[in-house]
Amino acid sequence: MKKLFVFTFFITSSIYPLIAQQAYYNDVDLTLTGQDLYFELQNKIDQASATFTYEDARFSAEVTDEDTQNNSNILLVYGFNDADGNCTTDRSRNKNAFGGSGCEWNREHVFARSNANPSMGSASNATTGIAADPHNIRPSDQQMNNDKGNRLFAAGTGDAGVLGTGNWYPGDEWKGDVARMMMYMYTRYGDRCLPSLMGVGPLEGSTEMLQLFLQWNVEDPVSDFEDQRNPHLENVYGNRNPFIDNPYLATLIWGGPVAEDRWNLLSVSEGNVNTTTLYPNPASEVMYLFSATKNIKKVKVYSVSGQLITTYLNVEPNQAMDISKLAPGLYLFSINSEEESSYKKVIIQ
């Protein structure tokens, strides 16, 4: 991983406060990045019920996975077709059709129990702990659940099913949900639930996060259906999946493609120079400044600790600024004209 740093710059300055959308995160320092943010979220979500059971997860699923179009039904993970006459591929099913027989739904551990290291063990109704964590449990058709088994997730397209040599594609509708569940499991349980134990493909840097999951997190944004999960589980289980609340947290921790920022964590005060833009952002080699103000005298770059790193003088509109010598991380760019200043947060990759 390209190390990112703690952002503590100018608490009393013109930066807008970074306020989480959900009150649950009020005691979490969301100005952190990289491994610092990973451990901050880990400490937060570890504060969950120790008595919640696998049976509790069944009844919670009837709330968290309720079909938004039919409140008598639940949606089945990996499902995609209710009209093909094959109940294995059903997407929606009556809540009462629970069991282990054909055309019934049961509880799917999306991060397979046997793939954890050490294994999560068996799951009876009285089971508590990791095997009962409801953030990893989704309703699934009984046969679809068996078909997926402990197969590893891999890149694909279209509907859910077995890939090639025996991997599993969760389906276009479900891949983002799966990715954010894998991010939760890795954040909560650490190396016991390494993403590489549940998926295939290259890793993003040294932090063991699969590029596959980072890509799915971007390609399949959070839906209204997925948003149902956290409010109920916070109430009955005691924690939330942060990557549902804000997929951009994954970008801040592991890098990779930029996910949706639902909390606008990169917002800053624009001062009075509202026509100023820095692009691209994130960037790696070169950054350009666009401004209707032609008398930009200085662009100052500050580190996350408030240290002045470098200054660009007399920057013209659309002039390239060489940023290749800046270490990867989060910076504040101060754009100064003769009369005023503007501030923008920038990620250097």
Q: Set out the domains of the chain in order of their start, with CATH numbers.
A: 24-254 (no CATH), 277-348 (2.60.40.3080)
The reported pLDDT for the residue numbered 306 is: 62
The reported pLDDT for the residue numbered 305 is: 53
Beta bridge partners of 204: 209
The reported pLDDT for the residue numbered 154 is: 98
Give the pair of three-digit tokens for residue 122.
Answer: 């068996």
Give the predicted TM-score (pTM) of the model.
Answer: 0.77
In 30-116, the DSSP E strands lie at 66-67, 70-75, 92-94, 105-109
The reported pLDDT for the residue numbered 284 is: 84
The reported pLDDT for the residue numbered 241 is: 98
Kindly give the residue spans of alpha helices, DSSP state H, lying in the chain: 34-45, 54-64, 142-148, 175-189, 211-219, 224-227, 229-236, 242-245, 248-254
Helix (H) or strand (E) holding 262: none
The reported pLDDT for the residue numbered 4 is: 36
**Residue 237: what are its φ and ψ, rounded to 5°?**
-115, -30
The reported pLDDT for the residue numbered 304 is: 55
Residue with tokens 């009837």: 62
The reported pLDDT for the residue numbered 134 is: 98
Q: Which residues of the chain have pLDDT under 70?
A: 1-20, 205-206, 266-275, 291-295, 304-306, 339-341
